[in-house]
Amino acid sequence: MAAVGALAVLTVTLAACGGSEEPAGPPPAAAPMSSAPAAASNGVTTNDDVFGPACGQLPQGDAPGSLDNMGPQPVASAAATNPLLSTLVSAVTAVPGLADTLNSQQAITVFAPYNGAFDQVKTTMGDQAFNGLLSDQQQLGAILSYHVVPKRYDAAGLVEANKLTELAGGDVTIGGTADAPTVTDGKGNTATVLCGNIPTSNATVFVIDKVLMPAG
């Protein structure tokens, strides 16, 4: 991927995608769509498998950002329509070629920080350092690639696998249960799933409440 580079500069312990208009905390809870099903061998999910407290905030029917709308699209294109991920999409767009790389992958898992997570990063880093991160294509790309697993998993498969190596290198550890998985990054910060098992044509997506950071 276009993303490689030193990450030692970052000392933040919290993060996740979010524009300045978004609240700093996780979005208000909505009724979960479902419990996560038993693991599928290929990690492919359907709309019936989607679960989590923020899933109810997705548009309904075939509107842009709805499950029906995102499902046939590759992951970066699908994320571009998801109202929970607008800041993440802006970050991906800032790294030349990254969206095309994600769309061209055959079977991946994406941990997608929701908008409010980037507000947490900005608060922790300060405006100047945060803006510097967004303008550093190599460093930003490396962080974003740390959210991509080069194999497709559903929630049950994640929990069963326990430890995963990300596309950018570095591991994350999966805890919790298939109904409520957690993702712990290289710095020991644990993210929870706000909406998981979201299907796209080439990826299974888990919207999480923090930006993941590799060790180092």
What pLDDT does 27 receive?
54
pLDDT, greater one: 71 or 21: 71
DSSP H stretches of helix in the chain: 67-70, 75-79, 86-93, 98-104, 115-125, 127-135, 137-145, 155-161
Banded model confidence at residue 26, pLDDT cuts 50, 70, 90: low
Q: Hey, what's the torsion of the CAs at 30, 33, 35, 37, to 10 degrees? A: -150
Q: Which pLDDT tens digit goes with each residue over 83-130?
A: 899 999 999 999 999 999 999 999 999 999 999 999 999 999 999 999
